[in-house]
Chain A
Amino acid sequence: MSERDPTTEYTLWRSPEELNGSAAGNLREFADGAWRPPGWANRREFLALVGASAALAGLTGCSDRPDEEKIVPYVRQPEQVVPGNPLMFATAMPLGGYGRGVLVESHEGRPTKVEGNPDHPSSPGGGSDVFMQASILQLYDPDRSKSVTRAGQPSHWGAFASELRRRIDAKRAAGGAGIAILTGIVTSPSLGARINEVRRLFPKATWHQYEPSARVNTAAGAVAAFGRAVNTVYQFERAKVIVSLDADFLSDDPLSVRYARHFANARRVRRGRTDASRLYVAESTLSLAGSMADRRIPVRPAVVERVAWKLASLVGVANAPGEEPTGDAEVEGFVAAAAADLRKNPGACVVVAGEAQPPAVHALAHAINQQLGSVGKTVVYTEPVEVRPDDVTASLKELVASMEAGRVDVLLILGGNPAHASPGDVAFKAALERMTTARDTSGELAHFTAHLGLYDDETSYLCQWHVPEAHYLETWGDVRAPDGTASVIQPLISPLFGGRSAGEVLAVLTAQGDISPYEAVRDHWRRQATGGDFEQWWATALRRGTIEGTAAKPVQVAPAKLPAKTALIVALGTVDVVIRLDWAVWDGSFANLTWMQELPRPFTKLVWDNAALMSPRTAGRLNVNDGDVVKLTAGEVTVEAPAMILPGLPDETITVHLGYGRTRAGSVATAGAGEWGRRGFDAYPLRRGSSPWHTAGANVTKTGATWRLVTTRNHHAMEALRGLEHGRVTEERLKPDVVASPDDDVETKNRQLVRVVSLSRFAKDPNAVKELGGEAGRRVKLSLYPDSWDYSQGPQWGMSIDLQTCIGCNACVIACQAENNIATVGKQEVSRQREMHWIRIDSYFAGGVDRPSVYHQPVPCMHCENAPCEYVCPTGATTHSTQGLNEMTYNRCIGTRYCSNNCPYKVRRFNFFAFGYESSKGSTQLQKNPEVTVRTRGVMEKCSYCVQRINRTRIEVEKTVVELTEQARLAANDDERKRLNGQADARRFAVYEGLRTACEQACPTAAIVFGDIREPRSQVSMLKAQPHDYTLLDELTTRPRTSYLARFTNATGDGGEGAA
C-alpha cells in the first residue's frame, strides 16, 4: 500500500512552515524520519512491533524486562492464554488528567480493543465513550513521533538526559531557579510524588499546569461558594428533577460516562414504571443533555445567570434578592416550571451548573442544592483529586510572564500541546519560540526547551528537544478518577516507538534516571500500602483496575456564599461565541485519528471539519448557508470559519469546537491541498483565558468564500419527515420559510420512524405506541409464501434499542468500528455518500426550528426475518442463519449492490474502492481484530450482530453444555441427572446473557440490549415484551430482529406527571 501513502501530502503540509521563514522553521533542515513516509512502518519496524507485542504473550510482561514486570489479566478471564482466546486487562486511561477505567482486549499480546471497566467508578456497567474506544487507534497511530530529536535532527535518549542533567546541574546552586515544568493536570499520585521530589531538590523551580479541557469555572465556582477548593460529584440516579444550567453532564464531563448511566437508569420507562426523572435544560448551545431534555430553552450564555438567580429566588434561597422579570415569557415559564418541580422534590433533585458558565452560576447552583437539601443525596462534595488544584489559565499566564521576563532557562513541557491549545490572549507560542531560538553571546542556543509528546506537533516544533511520549497502553503509571479513585496504569505492550513517560523525564532531575516506570509506580504504592502482603495487594489492584479506599473523602461545606449580582449585559448587534471541546477530536489530541475525523458529530453529522454553528434565524439574518465562510472577530482576533446551520441553537450565538486547524499533527489532521485537504479552523485564538468557553461581543460577517463541508446527513431529517407525513414536497436545505411551525404535533409527525408519546398518555394507555404505528391489533398475513423457517430452536438473536435513553454519544459507532475492522474512506468519499459505519445514529428534529426536539436513533442492521436484501442477491451471498442472523458471505459477493437498493433501512455499506486496505496503514494494522475479515474491494458489508462474538460464545456454551449433559447421561440417579441438566441449562443461559455486541458493550446508558429472544428469561425478551416496543417500518413485514423502545416526552406542560 505504500505507494498510496500521502508522502506528498506530508511534504505539502510541511512546506508552508518552512516558507513562512519563522526562526523556528529554520531550526530544522530535515524532520526526523523525513526519509520515510509517515504512517508506514517499514518491514523491519513492522516485524519489530509484532515481535515486541508477541513477547507479551503468556503474561511474561514487557519485552525489555520480561521476567520482572508482571501485568495481570482482568479477573473475569481465564487464567492462561489460549491461542485465539483474547485476554482482558484492566487499566486506566488518563484524559485531561483524569482517569477512565478501561478493560483492554489483547490477542496474543496485541491490544486490539478498549472497553469500560465495570468495576471502575467512572464507567459503571462497563460503558465507555468515543475517546476510550478510539485510544486504541492512537496507540498504533503511525504518525506518532518515533525518536528523540534535537533541533529536528534524530538524537537519542542518552543525549537528551545528559544535556538536561548538564543544564540543571548549572541551576542546582541557585536552588533550581530558572527551571520550569509545564504539565497537564496531574492527578497521578506517583507522578505527583515525583514532582514534589523535584521541587524538594530544586525549591525555586516552578511547576505549572495547563489543560485545555480544565474545568476552571467549576473550580472557581466552588472556591467562590465555599472559600476552598471542593470537588463536586452528582448522583443523578437519585434525582427525580434535574435542572441543567448550560451543563452537558452527558458528554462534556470527566465523569460523563457514569453520569450518563445513572441518568439513564432514572429515565427508563417500562410497563407500570413511568416515574422517569425530568430534565430541564437552559443552555447556550445544543448539547447531548439538551437533546434529552423534557423542557429546554436555548438562551444566550449570559442569560443563564439570570435563570440561575431567578431559580434561586423562587426556591427560596436565603437572601437571594427577588429577581425582576426578564421580560422573556419563555424564560419565565421555564424557570417557574423548573422551580415548582424542584420544590416538589426536595432532596430528590439537583441543579447542575455547566463548566461553561462563570463561577457565579456555580455558586448559585451550590446554594440552590443546599437549599433543597440535595447535598449528601444527589450532590456529594469531596476533597479535590488533583495533586495541586490550580487555576490552570493563571498558571499558564504566570509561566508565559516569567518566560517573557527571561526568568525561565530550562523548560520541560511534559505532555500536551500548549503551543496549539493555549488561549488566544495568552502568548505562549510566541514566548516559547523566542525562548527556543534565543542565542547567547557565543551563538549557542541560550535556553533549554524540551517537549514530551505523542506527536511531533506544534509544540515540539518550537522546542529544541522532542521526546516521544509513551502511550498509556505502553507504560506504567497511575491516575485518579474524578471521584478520587486511583488506578494503576499497566501497559499492554512495550513502547512501540521508544516512548517515555513524564515520570521517566523527571527521574533525570531527581537523578534516578535508571529507575523504570514500573519500579517508580510500585515503589510509590509500596510506601502507601498499609501492611499486608504487598505483592497480593498489587496483583489485586491490577486485576480490579482500581485501588481500594482511594476515593476522595466527602467534605462538609459551609452554606454557599452568594456571588455579587451582576447586571445582564448583552452588547446589541454582537454575537456570543460559544466554545466547546469537539465531540470527537476533543481538544485536538485525537485529531490525527481517522476514526475520529470521520465520526459524524451529533446533530450536525459533520465530518473531517469543524464549523461555526448557528441557528437558522441567525443564518437567515447573515444570509449564509452551510459552507459559506464567515469571519468571526473578537477583539483583535479574527478567525474565518465555515458556517453551518443547526436548529435549536440560541439566536445570535455561534458555537465553535476546538481541536481543528492543526498545522503539525500528522498526515490525517494537518490540512492538505485542495478543498478535500481542509481540516477545519483553529478556534483557540477566540478563547479568552478569563472565560475559556464563551467570548462575548464578537462580530460575524459573511466573506463570500465557500467551504466544502461534508456531512453524512444529506437532507434535513425533520423536513423529510414532514414531506412524508403530509405528502408534501420538501426542500433540500433548511430555510426559515420551510420549517415546521412550533405547534406541530410531534407525535403524529414522527410516528413512522421515531415514536414519541407523552409519558402521561403512556401511563394511561400502554398501547399508545403501537397505535401510533397502526399495527396494534393488525394480524394480516401479507406474504404469499407460508412461514417456511422454524426459528424456535437454539438461541435466536435479537436486539432492543431504547430511544428513551439513547443520548447519541457515538460510543457505539466507534466501538463497532474498532471491533469489526471498519474502514474509513476520507473526506471526499464521505461527500460521495460512501462512509462505511455499520451502525449510524440518525438524528431527527421535530417541532419548530427555534425550539426543536431532537431524537437520536441508532440504526444497525435490522436482521429481518423476511430480509428484502436476501432474495434479490443473485449469488446467495447474503443468507439467513438458523439463529436468525442475516449473514453476509463476503467471498460469495460479486457486488451487484441490489441488496442495498432493496434494504429499506439502507444499513448496507459497499467497498467502492479498496477502503479496507487503503485505510489501514502500517502499524494500524496491528489494531485489527483477528476474528473479523478485512473486506476487499467490490463487496458489500454490514452489521453482523458481532457474529464473531456470538460464535465464540456459542462454542463456549457447547463445550460446557456438552460436558454437563454427558455427565447427566451417565448420572447415577434421576435427581443427579435433573441437577446436571439444570446446571447445563443455567450455564447456557448465563453465558448467552453474558454475550454482548460491541455497540451494546460500549453504550454508556445500556440503551442497546442484545440477546436470545427465544429465551423468556433474557433481558432482551423482556424488553421486546414491553408495550412500547416497536419495529422500524413494521408495515413492510420485514419482521426485524432489531426493535426500538419508544421515546417519551415528560414536560409538565403535556400533563406528564412522571416526576411527581
Chain B
Amino acid sequence: MPETVGVHIPPVMESGHTYASVTDHIDGIVLRRRWTWVWLAAFGFTFALVMLLTTAIGWLIVRGIGVWGVDIPVAWGFAIINFVWWIGIGHAGTFISAMLLLMRQDWRTSINRFAEAMTLFAVACAGLFPLLHLGRIKFFYWLVPYPNTMWLWPQFRSALVWDVFAVSTYGLVSLIFWYVGLIPDLATLRDRATGRRRRVIYGILAMGWRGASRHWTRYQTAYLLLAGLAAPLVISVHSIVGMDFASAQLPGWHTTIFPPYFVAGAIFSGFAMVLSLAIPMRAAFGLQGFITIRHLDNCAKLMLVNGLIVAYGYLAEAYMGWYSGNAYESYVNLNRMHGPYAPAYWVMMTCNVLVPQLLWFKWVRRNVPTLFLLAFLVNVGMWTERYVIIITSLHRDFLPSSWGMYYPTFWDLATLVGTIGLFLCFFLLFCRFLPVISIFEMRELVHSTAGGTRPPPTMEPKHAH
C-alpha cells in the first residue's frame, strides 16, 4: 500500500483539502461553473457526429444491410468489430469500481465515478450494433424470450442469445451501481444547489437521502455486495463475447484462449480509454489535485499488465495453430501475418504488444502527453485486434473456392465515427450535470488521510464484535 511502500509515490490527493474544500470544488463544476465556448464547441462537434450516425442508421434501415461491406464469406464486419470494441471499453469502469473497491485501492476513489459513466456510455454504443447488424432489424425482439402464440423461444444454445442476456445484465447492473454511488452526491447537490429547479430535480434524484448512520450502514453493505457481483460480471460478460467466436468452429475463432484474453483485452482497452478521458478532463476542470500522477501511473501499470496478458493470448493462438498441426489453423495464422490483411495484423501487434512495453519506464508512465498518445494507440490497436479476429478468420476458411475479401463502405465508417461522437457527446453532458468525482468518497478520503487512520474494512456490524 502506498503508505508502506515508500516516499516516491505521489499521494492520491494533494494535501490540504478539507471536507468543505473537496465538496465545494467538485460540486462547483456542476453548480457554479459557467458555460465555456470550449465545451460548447466540443459538444457541437460531437453532436454533429451523432447526426451523422442517425443518417447512417436511417439509410441502413431504408436500403438494407447491403449498404455495408459485409458479404459471403465475410458476413460480419464493422458492426461486430465496433460492438466488441465498445463493450471492451465498457469494462474499465466497473472493473475500477468493483475490483479496486474489493481490493481496497483507495486511489480508485477519484476516478471510479467518471469511469463508470464511461462504461455506461460505451455499453450504450455497443448495444446499438447487435441490433443494427440484423438483416431484419424490426424483429430484434425475437432474441428475447417473451410469451407468443407460436410458442417460439430464442435458441438458447446460441452465443448470440447469451450475449443479449450478458450485455443487458451488464448494462443494467452498471447503471444501478453508478446510480447508487451517486445518491449521496445528489443529496449534496440538492443541498448546495441555488436555483429551485435544480433543487427539485436533484432532490427527486437523491430520494431524500440525509446521511443517517443506519442508512450509511445498509448503503455500504449493498454497495459492497454490488461490487462483489459486478466483479465476476465483468469477467463473464467479455468471456461470453469471446464465446460468440470461440463457440463457432471457424479456424481463428474456435479457440479456448478467447474468453480470458478477451477479458484482458477489454480491461486493457478500458484503461486506455480511462486515460484518454481523464487526462483532458483533469486539465479542463482543474482536477489535478484529485486525479494525480499517482492515478495515471496506476492506470498505466494496469494497462501494462493486461497488455502482457493480451500479448500472451496472441502468442498462444499462433503457437496452438502450429502445434495443433491442423492445416486450417496454421494457415489462418500465416494468412494473418502475410495475407492481404497483414497490415492490420502488424498494426495490432505494434499498438498492443510493442508500444505498451514503454510502460515499463516510470518516466513514460508519469509523462502525461506521452501517456495520452500511448493510450490512444492502444485504443486503435484494440479496434484493429477485433478487425483481425473477425475479418481474417472469415475471409479464408475451409474451402478455398469460397474465399473472399471484405471492403468496408462509407456507411461502415460513418457508423463507427458516429458512435464515437455519441460516446463523447454523452460524456460532455455528464461532466456538465453530474459530479465527475464521487464527493462523499473524497470526504472519506480526507477523513482517512487527514485523520491519519485509513478507514478499516467496510463496516459490517458483525465484524464490530
CB–CB B152/A892 < 8 A: yes
CB–CB A904/B327 < 8 A: no
User: Contacts A874-B154, A913-B66, A939-B135 known; A724 to B249 CB distance under 8 Å?
Assistant: no
User: Contacts A724-B328, A1036-B249 known; A906 to B397 CB distance under 8 Å?
Assistant: yes
Interface residue B28 (Cβ < 8 Å from any Cβ of A) = no
CB–CB B249/A904 < 8 A: yes
CB–CB A937/B399 < 8 A: no
Chain A contact patch, size range: 35 or more
Residue in A717, A829, A912 whose beta carbon sits within 8 Å of that of B65 in the complex: A912
Q: How far is the CB of A649 from chain B (nearest CB, A)?
A: 21
A841, closest chain B residue (CB)? B401
Scan A1005-1049; emit 1 where CB is below 8 A from any B CB, else 0: 000000000000000000000000000110010000000000000
Interface residue B63 (Cβ < 8 Å from any Cβ of A) = yes
CB–CB A900/B73 < 8 A: yes
Interface residue B75 (Cβ < 8 Å from any Cβ of A) = yes
CB–CB B399/A876 < 8 A: no
Interface residue A737 (Cβ < 8 Å from any Cβ of B) = no
A720 to B328, CA, bound (A): 11
Residue in B63, B64, B71, B248 whose beta carbon sits within 8 Å of that of A832 in the complex: B71
A898 to B158, CA, bound (A): 9
Q: How far is the CB of B381 from chain A (nearest CB, A)?
A: 23
A612 to B154, CA, bound (A): 52
Give the residue among A725, A840, A900, A914 with the most B Cβ atoms within 10 A. Answer: A900
A906 to B395, CA, bound (A): 11
Residues of A within 8 A of B135 (CB): 893-897, 910-912, 937-940
Q: How far is the CB of B328 from chain A (nearest CB, A)?
A: 7
Residue in A721, A727, A842, A874 whose beta carbon sits within 8 Å of that of B161 in the complex: A874
CB–CB B143/A874 < 8 A: yes
Residue in A725, A875, A911 whose beta carbon sits within 8 Å of that of B143 in the complex: A875
CB–CB B159/A904 < 8 A: no
Q: Which of A894-945 contact B (CB under 8 A)?
A: 894-898, 900-902, 904-906, 908-914, 936-940
Scan B397-431; emit 1 where CB is below 8 A from any A CB, else 0: 11111111101000000000000000000000000
User: Contacts A721-B400, A874-B158 known; A939 to B327 CB distance under 8 Å?
Assistant: no
Q: How far is the CB of B258 from chain A (nearest CB, A)?
A: 15
A209 to B70, CA, bound (A): 51
CB–CB A724/B331 < 8 A: yes
CB–CB A938/B248 < 8 A: no
Residues of B within 8 A of A510 (CB): none
Interface residue A624 (Cβ < 8 Å from any Cβ of B) = no
Residues of B within 8 A of A832 (CB): 69, 71, 407
CB–CB A897/B76 < 8 A: yes
Q: How far is the CB of B13 from chain A (nearest CB, A)?
A: 48
Q: How far is the CB of B344 from chain A (nearest CB, A)?
A: 16
B339, closest chain A residue (CB)? A729
A816 to B308, CA, bound (A): 53
Q: Which of A727-749 contact B (CB under 8 A)?
A: 727-729, 732
CB–CB B400/A729 < 8 A: no
Q: How far is the CB of B422 from chain A (nearest CB, A)?
A: 23
Q: How far is the CB of A786 from chain B (nearest CB, A)?
A: 15
Interface residue A796 (Cβ < 8 Å from any Cβ of B) = no
User: Contacts A873-B158, A901-B75 known; A715 to B400 CB distance under 8 Å?
Assistant: yes
A55 to B52, CA, bound (A): 56
Interface residue B323 (Cβ < 8 Å from any Cβ of A) = no
Interface residue A714 (Cβ < 8 Å from any Cβ of B) = yes
Interface residue B247 (Cβ < 8 Å from any Cβ of A) = yes
CB–CB B403/A720 < 8 A: yes
Q: Which of A4-38 contact B (CB under 8 A)?
A: none
Interface residue A844 (Cβ < 8 Å from any Cβ of B) = yes
CB–CB B398/A905 < 8 A: yes
Residues of A within 8 A of B327 (CB): 724-725, 727, 752
CB–CB A875/B154 < 8 A: yes
Residues of A within 8 A of B400 (CB): 715, 717, 720-721, 723-724, 753, 844
Interface residue A713 (Cβ < 8 Å from any Cβ of B) = yes
Give the residue among B66, B327, B339, B400 with the most A Cβ atoms within 10 A. Answer: B400
A442 to B155, CA, bound (A): 82
Interface residue B153 (Cβ < 8 Å from any Cβ of A) = yes
Q: Is the interface of A mostly helix, strand, loop or mixed?
A: loop
A900 to B75, CA, bound (A): 7
A897, closest chain B residue (CB)? B75
CB–CB A909/B248 < 8 A: no
CB–CB A753/B399 < 8 A: yes
User: Contacts A729-B339, A876-B155, A901-B394 known; A833 to B72 CB distance under 8 Å?
Assistant: yes
Q: Which of A834-879 contact B (CB under 8 A)?
A: 834, 840, 842-844, 857, 859, 868, 871-876
CB–CB B73/A906 < 8 A: yes
Residues of B within 8 A of A1032 (CB): 399
Residue in B63, B337, B401 whose beta carbon sits within 8 Å of that of A842 in the complex: B401
Q: How far is the CB of B335 from chain A (nearest CB, A)?
A: 7
CB–CB A893/B249 < 8 A: no
A834 to B340, CA, bound (A): 20
Residues of B within 8 A of A938 (CB): 64-65, 134-137
A721 to B399, CA, bound (A): 9
Interface residue B142 (Cβ < 8 Å from any Cβ of A) = yes
B68, closest chain A residue (CB)? A912
Q: Which of B311-340 contact A (CB under 8 A)?
A: 327-328, 330-331, 334-335, 337-340
A897 to B70, CA, bound (A): 10
Q: How far is the CB of A604 from chain B (nearest CB, A)?
A: 13
CB–CB B340/A876 < 8 A: no
Interface residue B140 (Cβ < 8 Å from any Cβ of A) = yes
Scan B285-297; emit 1 where CB is below 8 A from any A CB, else 0: 0000000000000
Interface residue B35 (Cβ < 8 Å from any Cβ of A) = no
Residues of A within 8 A of B331 (CB): 723-724, 727
B140, closest chain A residue (CB)? A894
User: Contacts A727-B334, A842-B399 known; A896 to B64 CB distance under 8 Å?
Assistant: no
A1032 to B399, CA, bound (A): 9
Scan A427-440; emit 1 where CB is below 8 A from any B CB, else 0: 00000000000000
Residues of B within 8 A of A902 (CB): 248-250
Residues of B within 8 A of A876 (CB): 152-155
User: Contacts A714-B403, A727-B327, A904-B398 known; A875 to B142 CB distance under 8 Å?
Assistant: yes
Give the residue among A843, A874, A876, A896 with the most B Cβ atoms within 10 A. Answer: A874
A728 to B334, CA, bound (A): 8
CB–CB B66/A912 < 8 A: yes
Give the residue among A723, A834, A868 with the most B Cβ atoms within 10 A. Answer: A723
Residues of B within 8 A of A897 (CB): 70, 75-76, 133, 135
B142, closest chain A residue (CB)? A875
CB–CB A904/B397 < 8 A: yes
Residues of B within 8 A of A834 (CB): 66, 71-72
Residue in B69, B160, B337 whose beta carbon sits within 8 Å of that of A874 in the complex: B160
B249, closest chain A residue (CB)? A868
B329, closest chain A residue (CB)? A727
CB–CB A872/B64 < 8 A: no
User: Contacts A727-B330, A902-B248 known; A732 to B65 CB distance under 8 Å?
Assistant: no
Residues of B within 8 A of A939 (CB): 135-136
CB–CB A908/B72 < 8 A: yes
Scan B137-172; emit 1 where CB is below 8 A from any A CB, else 0: 101101100000000111101111100100000000
Q: Which of A788-815 contact B (CB under 8 A)?
A: none
A717 to B400, CA, bound (A): 6
Scan A404-427; emit 1 where CB is below 8 A from any B CB, else 0: 000000000000000000000000
User: Contacts A728-B334, A873-B158, A938-B64 known; A900 to B72 CB distance under 8 Å?
Assistant: yes
Q: How far is the CB of B236 from chain A (nearest CB, A)?
A: 18
Query: Can you identify 11 A-B contacts, CB atoms within 8 angstroms?
Result: A720-B403, A872-B160, A872-B248, A876-B152, A876-B153, A901-B248, A902-B248, A905-B399, A913-B66, A938-B134, A938-B135
- Top 6 A-B pairs ranked by shortest CB distance? A895-B135, A938-B135, A720-B400, A912-B66, A906-B402, A897-B75
4 other contacts beyond A753-B400, A910-B72, with CB at 8 A cut-off?
A843-B401, A873-B158, A875-B154, A1033-B398
